[in-house]
Structures are given as structure tokens and as C-alpha cells.
Amino acid sequence: MRTQVCIIGGGPSGMLLGQLLQRNGIDNVVLERKTKDYVLSRIRAGVLEQGFVKLLETAGCAERLHAESFSHTGTYISYGEEIFRIDFVSQTGTPVVVYGQTEVTRDLYAARESSGATTEYNVEDVVIEGADGDTPSVRYSSNGQQRRIDCDFVAGCDGFHGVSRRAIPDNVRREYEKVYPFGWLGILSETPPVHEELIYANSDRGFALCSMRNENLSRYYIQCSLSDSPDDWSDQAFWDELRRRLPSDYADALQIGPSIEKSIAPLRSFVTEPMQWGRLFLCGDAAHIVPPTGAKGLNTAASDVHYLFHGLIEYYETGDRSGLDRYSETALRRIWKAERFSWWFSSLLHRYPDQTEFDRKMQIAELEFLRSNTAAQQAMAENYVGLPY
């Protein structure tokens, strides 16, 4: 098989890139290790930056988002019984959009299916060859058969555990990592959200987050130990612990119900440099991970897709490769800023196992400064709604 761009990974970044290219007449194939049902069963974050929404519009995939999403003009932060709001619109002129990543992916799959573009599921043993030359190819097996795709470029959108990043030789690649000493236990429940906006809660007992998908679907998280398993936490134990971490007015207003999903995610900051090698370009989790505090995971993948898409368009329309050549440098500049914000927001809100009383005082002092200082609020809001790209 031959195509212009071979996209490895059918998560939101691969599917978004595929759809953008498809709409601009650039032929592409998406290879996905799992089934479509598996990809659509994963629950991920639900806050989109305006830049991401614009990309979805460009891809022609924003119709349902516009009909069903919620615009949030601010967010709440609590510590103990104290709570304050940061107003994104008065600070930056821009709201964020609440719409689940799973729904974004569903819309991208629907668009890809109706465009007739090729997507191969259940592929195994993917190997990228010749990325440092002019004629790259991707070998894989499907239903026990060996296949090969010859292409102009390879987009590695196959996540943190994918093969693409490791196709860049060890002596070229440098990785930066910070692992946090706790996880997030998350549940989804068919209950009305405790509040119309998100609440990020710092408490003596650890972090909690009240989020949502719609008027009757709530997403809540509590910081947990890395050794915990979801089975250790009954629904009742989860709700009791969440209540203890919220200011009492919100704890009292919380409506509880059975969980329809319960899972634990570890927290990690990770960046690989460079994000390209010859004709291979990494996008999203294949190149970088952020802790979920601040919901930058999908949004950082989107800025990568934006830069890569524009580089490819420029190349195919004018023959100019300079945008592609600068891809890693351009993408990383924004990624490191999102890494910093996610690391900062995580550090501000979580309880660290080795935290001293002094460290705790520093968190409270920083929260009180943020509460009372408009410059600090503006800096937070600019990062939260998404830095420009």
C-alpha cells in the first residue's frame, strides 16, 4: 500500500490529524492496535481549550460539540473551608469548553468513516523503517498477514507506550521525567454535578476535583495512594472521602449515586526531545505526558497536530519543508510551558507524602496570594484557557 502520511495510532491526535489532512486532499492511513470499541471505552479528561475547538471546526467535526458542550467562564479552587473563583473571561476574554475526550474521539471516528479514508484496526508488530531517509515505510501484521505501507511521512500518534518514540535512536533522543508519589482515583456517576463549574480542592487529606460531562453526569477524582486499587474503594468510601476534602457547603450539597466507572491513573510529567527524526514526527502522548491537574493532556496533543498539519500543508502546497523542519522546536516551546503549568498546579493542590509543615504553609500562602492578586489570577487563567498557537 502507498499513502502520503502514515498515522500510527487511532486516538484523538491521530484521528484529528487524519481528518485535517483528509479535508485538504492529503492521503493518509491510520493504524490502530486496538478496536474502535476499545478506543471509545476509555474515559479521559473533559476540558477543551478554544484552540482545540477551532481545530475540530477546521476538521469539520465540531457540530455535536457546539450542540452539546458547555462553556465555562471560570473555575473554583478551595482549600479547607475557603473557596474562591478565577474568572477566565474577565482575565483573558476566553472561556473553556467542557466536552469529554471520548466524545471528541467518537465524532472524529464518525467523520473518518463517512470520508471513506482507510483505518486499520487490530494491527500488531508495527515497525517504522527508513524514517531517516527519503522513503520511509511502516510494516505491521493484521489477521496474521504481513503488510507494508510506503509513505512520505510517518506521524507517531501512538501514545506513551507506543513504538514511534522508540524508533528514534537512543543516542538522538533525550527524555525528561518526573513521577508523582500518588494517583487519582476517578469515578463517573449519573448524578447532577455538585456545582456548575469545576472545583479543584486542596485539603489536609489530599486533593479532590469535582468535574462533569453534563447536567446528569459527574466526574469526580480524589488523590489516592499509588498502591491502592479501584477495588479497595467502595462507592461509599469514595463519596465519604470526597466529602471530607470539600468545603462543608459543597460536601453537604453533593448528590451521590452508584459509580458507572471507577479507575486509578498515575501522575507523570514526561517530555522527549526531539519530537521528530527525519520523516517521523511524534504527536501527543507519544512525546509528552502531563499530570491531569489542569486538563492539558489532549490540549497539548492538539497543538502538536496543529503545527504538524500546517507543516505538511505547506510542504504539499509549496514544496517548502521549513515548517516541518522546525516542527519539534516549535511544538516543544509550547509543550514545556504546558508542562510547567501542569506541574505547578499539581504541586499547589496535592498532599505530598514527604510534605513538611513548612511546605504546607507555602501551599496555603500561594493559594491566598492567588485568591487576592489579579496578576496571579491572570497568569493562571492564561495558562488554563491555553497559551496561543
Q: Give the span between the Cα atoms of 272 and 165, in whole angstroms.
A: 8
Q: Confirm or reject binding of residue 292 to ligand PHB (CB under 6 A).
A: yes
Query: Is beta strand 174-189 parallel, antiparallel or unpaired with respect to 259-273?
Result: antiparallel
Set 76, 109, 140, 200: catalytic member: 200
Buried b (16+ CB within 10 A) or exposed e, 171-182: eebeeeeeebeb
Beta carbon of residue 98, minimum distance to ligand PHB (angstroms, whole number): 7
Beta carbon of residue 355, minimum distance to ligand PHB (angstroms, whole number): 21
C-alpha cell at 80: 479547607
Q: Confirm or reject binding of residue 193 to ligand PHB (CB under 6 A).
A: no
Kindly tell me which of 47 and 168 has the beta carbon lying closer to ligand PHB.
47
Terminal-to-terminal C-alpha distance of the chain:
34
Q: Is the CB of residue 47 less than 8 Å from the CB of residue 386? A: no
Kindly tell me which of 60 and 192 has the beta carbon lying closer to ligand PHB.
192
Q: Give the span between the Cα atoms of 380 and 100, in whole angstroms.
A: 22
Q: Confirm or reject binding of residue 293 to ligand PHB (CB under 6 A).
A: yes
Set 72, 262, 288, 350: catalytic member: 72
Please identify, among the stretches 41-49, 87-95, 235-243, 357-365, the one whose residues bind ligand PHB according to the rule CB under 6 A.
41-49
Q: Is the CB of residue 15 less than 8 Å from the CB of residue 36? A: no
Q: Confirm or reject binding of residue 294 to ligand PHB (CB under 6 A).
A: yes
Kindly tell me which of 219 and 334 has the beta carbon lying closer to ligand PHB.
219
Residue with the shortest CB distance to ligand PHB: 211
Q: Identify the DSSP state of 287.
A: T
Q: Give the span between the Cα atoms of 151 and 312, in whole angstroms.
A: 13
Size of the residue set binding ligand PHB (CB under 6 A): 11
Kindly tell me which of 277 and 384 has the beta carbon lying closer to ligand PHB.
384
Q: Confirm or reject binding of residue 295 to ligand PHB (CB under 6 A).
A: yes
**DSSP letters spanning 58-124:** HTT--HHHHHH-EEE-EEEEEETTEEEEEEHHHHHS--EEE--HHHHHHHHHHHHHHHT-EEE-S-E
Kindly tell me which of 72 and 165 has the beta carbon lying closer to ligand PHB.
72
Q: Confirm or reject binding of residue 46 to ligand PHB (CB under 6 A).
A: yes
Beta carbon of residue 92, minimum distance to ligand PHB (angstroms, whole number): 17
List of residues contacting ligand PHB (CB under 6 A): 45-47, 198, 209, 211, 219, 292-295
Which residues have a catalytic role annotated? 72, 200, 292, 296, 384
